[in-house]
Amino acid sequence: MRALLSRAPGGPETLELAELPDPVAARGQVIVAVNACSINYPDVLIIEDRYQFKPQRPFAPGSEIAGVIDSIGEGVEGWAVGDRVIAMTGHGGLSEKVAVDAGRLYRLPEGRSFEDGAALLLTYGTTIHALLDRGHLKAGQTLLVLGAAGGVGLAAVELGKAFGARVIAAVSSQEKATAAAQAGADETLVYERAPFDKAQSKALADQFKALLGPNGADVIYDPVGGDYAEPALRAIGWEGRYLVVGFPAGIPKLPLNLTLLKSCDVCGVFWGAFAARDPQANAAHVARLFELWANGAIAPRVTRTFAFEDGGQAIAAMAAREAIGKLVVRVG
């Protein structure tokens, strides 16, 4: 089989399309012939050795796949060769075949494409856990979403509306504002590109406050970090919840006196660890996502697809923060 391999730490230009032996299913595993693999920000980090998990090289990046079961290992029940599935793999998705623990498989609904299936689990799984378990979002509350046109950002807009919140989407361009509005955002704000000096940081905080109103944000969903974090935190409401999701703009340092003045919480969101520690709760979330997908409340927005040999270009686009919605590599 072919795989897009990272042999040494580096950017997407270091990835190499190579031949590898086909994987063999161990007990409790299936082999999935990969049709599509979506690209997420961890793929940028993992090939540079900047992610919390560091697989042994050589390895293929790509943690979110859709495909067809090719073979089944001992002890696997409830699945058959030919079943259409989606799964989180951690890495290895940019390969024509990958071994997956059977407990990590979900059935791809009929009528849904492999590209859409590959774009569902990570962004919406992260976001439903963030909004419900960590943010305790309730109907009628106000949700501020930073980076609202990326994969997790659009998921937050859609899920926020599905849960009855007023959603304010903050983005870096008018094109991205349009995408967030199409996903259901009640209002949008286009901010300047960081870095910010003190005056620019205060100006952005004032923009957030003006749009949010006197009560501020009940929940802030931040998959961006960097210089955007402090201005957003200054606009949080009393006993608000600030959700730390990611840092493509850099790891911020927050003045903790703000948490005292607003009696607010700063909450980390680590969906992968949550899913491993509480698989039943995660399965319930995924079941709810499938219901929302079926009734049209959410829909993965795949805005660009790439050929297998161009998978590195997809990761480069993600690294440059150019992506609106989801980027997907067609593997099979």
pLDDT at 230: 97
Domain shared by 193 and 173, yes or no: yes
Q: Mean pLDDT per segment of 10 residues, for the chain of length 332 residues?
A: 96 96 97 98 94 92 98 97 96 97 95 97 97 98 97 97 98 96 97 94 97 97 97 98 95 95 97 94 96 96 96 95 92 93
Domain shared by 115 and 136, yes or no: no
> With the C-alpha atoms ordered 31, 36, 42, 47, is the resulting torsion angle positive or negative?
positive
Domain shared by 167 and 204, yes or no: yes
pLDDT at 323: 87
Domain shared by 115 and 126, yes or no: no
Residue 207 lies in a domain: yes
> What's the Rg (C-alpha) of the chain?
20
- pTM, two decimals, is 0.94
Domain shared by 30 and 76, yes or no: yes
CATH code of the domain containing 190:
3.40.50.720
Distances (CA, A) of 95 to 34, 37, 66, 126, 311: 7, 9, 12, 24, 11
Domain shared by 170 and 183, yes or no: yes
Residue 68 lies in a domain: yes
Residue 201 lies in a domain: yes
Domain shared by 202 and 310, yes or no: no
Total domains in the chain come to: 2
Domain shared by 263 and 143, yes or no: yes
Domain shared by 55 and 144, yes or no: no
Domain shared by 256 and 147, yes or no: yes
Residue 276 lies in a domain: no
Distance between CA 130 and CA 159 in Å, rounded?
11
Backbone angles phi, psi at 126, to 5 degrees: -60, -45
Residue 284 lies in a domain: no
Q: Is 8 exposed, middle or buried (0-12, 13-18, 19+ CB in 10 A)?
A: exposed
Residue 290 lies in a domain: no
Residue 304 lies in a domain: yes
Distances (CA, A) of 98 to 1, 21, 106, 125, 217: 10, 11, 15, 21, 42
pLDDT at 206: 97
pLDDT at 52: 83
Range of the domain at 27: 2-120+300-330
**Collapsed DSSP state (helix, strand, coil) of residue 146:** coil
Backbone angles phi, psi at 184, to 5 degrees: 120, 0
Residue 98 lies in a domain: yes
Domain shared by 114 and 130, yes or no: no
CATH code of the domain containing 314:
3.90.180.10
Domain shared by 148 and 79, yes or no: no
97 Cβ neighbours under 8 A, 6+ residues apart: 1, 22, 23, 31, 32, 33, 34, 70
